[in-house]
Amino acid sequence: MEKTQKTLSFPAGEREKLTILFPFQDRVVYRSLSDETLHDLGLDTICREVSANPKEQAMILQVLRSVTSDPETARFRAEVFDDLYHHPEVRERLMKLLDHVKFLNDFGAVRRASDEGIGVWDLIHRLDELRDYIETVEAMEACLRDADLHSDGLRKLREGIHGIWETSGFDGLKKDIAGLRATTDSVRSVTVGLNLNERYEPVQAGLVSVNSKPFTRSGLLQHFAESLSRGDRIETENDWNGAMTWHPADDYAARQGAEFERMTKSFAAMRNPLLAMTMAPVPESGGGREITRTMDSALTHLLSGLVRRLREVQNKYAAVSIREVSDLIPELMYYVRWAEYWEKLQKAGWRCCRPAAEAGQTGMKARGFYNLKLTLVEKPETTVRNDLTFDGEHRVYMLTGANRGGKTTVTQAAGQLFLLAQGGIYVPAEAFEFTPADGVYTHFPADEDKTLDLGRLGEECRRFRELFAQCTERSLLLLNETFSTTSFEEGCYIAADAVKALLSRGTLVIYNTHMHKLARELTEGEAESGTGKPWSLIVRSEGEKRSFRIETAPPEGSSYAKDIAEKYGVTYPMLMQMDEKKEIP
């Protein structure tokens, strides 16, 4: 079922966001096409070839389904794609940089708002992430600055990245980060105190000191082992620095559970000085993170001066956001995946061209086009290319031809040309000039489970009425064997009125049908006043051979049933010949 059409627009008056896909946001309106349309045109299948990532496939389809008849948008996108297609080194560098930005945005502390409650570890990590973000923006600017770019989209992106640098105070932030790093880098270790029970099991933990030197295996463990083996080395008092404060972890053993069980085994081994000693790292488990959080509150207290300075810097640059840059990742990915796809196809011998968008009445002039799905099953040297024109006179085509002669393939290809071109992507053709459509709609045979209530004919009529309500003189409607599920007379009657209404509206139409009588009557009869006539388009047949080549010409016959019957041997003479040869069991 064709879903209710949605329109997408951007609020007037808002600052135009940094984008290489959706320019002119203050005036452009987008229509959202249905999943059925994308499926009927085979674009869901193509997108699985363009990217193996389901999330990327969804993004690509979302761009293709969001259509606007604005020719400037189509030209803007085509220029961006052309730039990136001819600069593989630029798209490779940008994708690496933006993948890093995406990681920071999704998982980093920098995406969180400033919070007085966060501890020193988060503050230091956020400082590192801000530094990484600055370096990424600098690298992006250098990448775009050095490239010979021609598109307005990428030039504006270059200006936008430079603007982020200027307005975010990166120079000052770099100095502040460098100064704070000089302090935080001196923290190389912390001394943790553990209270043990009579079984050497930790029951409390707390921070004793912060040190500028790391502990070493020989110093720490040898001292501990010797202390256990020689009773005179075991202190009766705690030798804390008087400036330090003891910060016990409340009910620590109960909360740690399994983590303390593992630690207990380690301490049990330490009771025997003959056992091998190793410094065990803090595990990456939930228990390890809990230890970090427990120590964090104590460390924050001990480093109160440093924490205060860290928070001052964080608050000062709270407005710095990586989202403006990270939002470019799916847009850049859209162009990059299509560029990689067309590079692969061109190396295999498939031809493509940059579409040329023009203003004016919606139409197209395609030379040497083919269905992109053929690249999955055919070879470029054996694939037939075709030409087709939509203009002021040629608005509706009645497409007839032999079964399995390529009618559906041609019908799909016309829709692919418009949606790919409006998405800014190279199209499968030798040349393609067009004026964008405000919508591309399909009426292909419905699945059996969608016709249980109304029956096939009722479902077809309902769907056609919904599509007709959405179509304008700037739309493209592709009909595939529409109204063919009933008797020939009933189908012709309904189809004739539907075509006349479409002619009156001015919609671009390809009506693919096996009803040759309908095509002949509509194309050869008298035109309705002010509506014009549809044109007959045929898939040329050369005897039993299918040429897959289309041309404007009268329908070749009333039916291709004879061809099918001869192909499968069910004509009267062929059946009688089987009887004579005793071929029937």
| pTM of structure | 0.73
For residues 208 and 282, the model is more confident at 208
Model confidence at 554: pLDDT above 80 = yes
Confidence of residue 359 (pLDDT cuts 50, 70, 90): very high
- Length in residues, the chain: 585
Mean pLDDT of the chain: 76
* CA-wise closest residue to 122 among 108, 134, 135: 108
Helix (H) or strand (E) holding 541: strand 535-542
Coil, helix or strand at residue 397:
strand
For residues 487 and 481, the model is more confident at 481
Coil, helix or strand at residue 431:
strand
pLDDT of 235: 52
For residues 197 and 478, the model is more confident at 478
Contact 141, 161 (CB under 8 A): yes
pLDDT tens-digit profile of 228-279?
555 544 555 555 444 444 444 444 334 444 443 443 344 333 333 222 223 3
For residues 288 and 163, the model is more confident at 163
C-alpha to C-alpha distance for 50 and 338, rounded to whole angstroms? 6
C-alpha to C-alpha distance for 481 and 486, rounded to whole angstroms? 11
Q: What superfamily in CATH does domain 349-568 come from?
A: P-loop containing nucleotide triphosphate hydrolases (3.40.50.300)
C-alpha to C-alpha distance for 405 and 402, rounded to whole angstroms? 5
529 dihedral zone (left: phi>0; alpha: psi -120 to 50; beta): beta
Angle between helices 54-65 and 328-347 (to 10 degrees): 90
Q: Taking the CA atoms of the chain, what radius of gyration do you get in angstroms?
A: 36
Which residues are paired to 233 by β-bridges?
none
Sign of CA dihedral 549, 553, 556, 558: positive
For residues 296 and 491, the model is more confident at 491
For residues 255 and 541, the model is more confident at 541
Across residues 36-54, what is the average pLDDT? Answer: 96
Question: Among 94-108, 425-439, 486-500, which range has the highest average pLDDT?
Answer: 425-439
Across residues 361-367, what is the average pLDDT? Answer: 96
Q: Which tokens hold the place of 89?
A: 């080194």
C-alpha to C-alpha distance for 518 and 516, rounded to whole angstroms? 5
Contact 181, 341 (CB under 8 A): no
Residue ranges matching CATH 3.40.50.300 in the chain? 349-568
Vertex 263 angle, CA 261 and 264, to 5°:
65
For residues 24 and 245, the model is more confident at 24
Q: What is the DSSP track for 246-260?
A: ----TTHHHHHTHHH
Task: Give Cα 132 to chain centroid, integer Å.
Answer: 25
pLDDT of 572: 74
C-alpha to C-alpha distance for 340 and 404, rounded to whole angstroms? 32
For residues 185 and 344, the model is more confident at 344
For residues 127 and 273, the model is more confident at 127
pLDDT of 530: 60
* CA-wise closest residue to 131 among 313, 336, 404: 313
